[in-house]
């Protein structure tokens, strides 16, 4: 079965950066897109971006351009999301989430988010 296991909670000061990991298992890692979505406390869901684990190509929401970097390690079936220049508004639960469709059957922006990790709470506070 599809499993996405994320790294543990993080606390950072404003201006710092952090890197969250998401280890995938139960399927062929390079065959499905991986999304990152965040949720601020008591708020709704916000899409951060997507990575193609096969090619490493990425697409980020414009809001996060210049501050976010998504990478992958195919040897360990792990994707990473690094966010820099952190501010208090970045306090949120960050989820990795696998696409439903094979990457060869769907254009990048149209991947359906189907399977979610457990979330990683990131707290930014001085």
- Binding residues (CB under 8 A) for another protein: these are 35, 44-47, 49-50, 59, 61-63, 95, 97, 100, 108-119
Rounded to the nearest whole angstrom, what is the least distance from the CB of residue 122 to another protein in the complex?
15
- Name the residue nearer to another protein (CB basis): 16 or 61: 61
- What lies within 8 Å, CB to CB, of 57 at 6+ separation is 51, 108
Rounded to the nearest whole angstrom, what is the least distance from the CB of residue 15 to another protein in the complex?
25
- Name the residue nearer to another protein (CB basis): 74 or 112: 112
Which residues make beta-bridge pairs with 113? 99
Rounded to the nearest whole angstrom, what is the least distance from the CB of residue 65 to another protein in the complex?
10
Quote the CA–CA distance of 34 and 22 in Å, as a whole number: 10
- For residue 86, what are the CA distances in angstroms to 19, 67, 108, 126? 11, 9, 27, 11
Quote the CA–CA distance of 122 and 44 in Å, as a whole number: 16
- Name the residue nearer to another protein (CB basis): 63 or 74: 63
- Name the residue nearer to another protein (CB basis): 15 or 63: 63
Contact 35, 52 (CB under 8 A): no
Rounded to the nearest whole angstrom, what is the least distance from the CB of residue 16 to another protein in the complex?
25
Report the candidate in 104, 110, 99 with the shortest Cα–Cα distance to residue 36. 99
């Amino acid at each position: 079965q599809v499993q996405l296991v994320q790294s543990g909670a993080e606390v950072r000061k404003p201006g710092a950066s952090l890197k969250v990991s998401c280890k995938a298992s139960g399927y062929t890692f390079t065959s499905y897109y991986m999304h990152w979505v965040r949720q601020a406390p008591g708020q709704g869901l916000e899409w951060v971006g997507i990575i193609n684990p096969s090619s490493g190509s990425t697409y980020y929401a414009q809001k996060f351009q210049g501050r976010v970097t998504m990478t992958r390690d195919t040897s360990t079936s792990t994707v990473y999301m690094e966010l820099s220049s952190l501010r208090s508004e970045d306090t949120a639960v960050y989820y990795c989430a696998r696409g439903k469709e094979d990457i060869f059957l769907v254009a990048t922006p149209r991947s359906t988010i189907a399977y979610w990790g457990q979330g990683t709470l990131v707290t930014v506070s001085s």
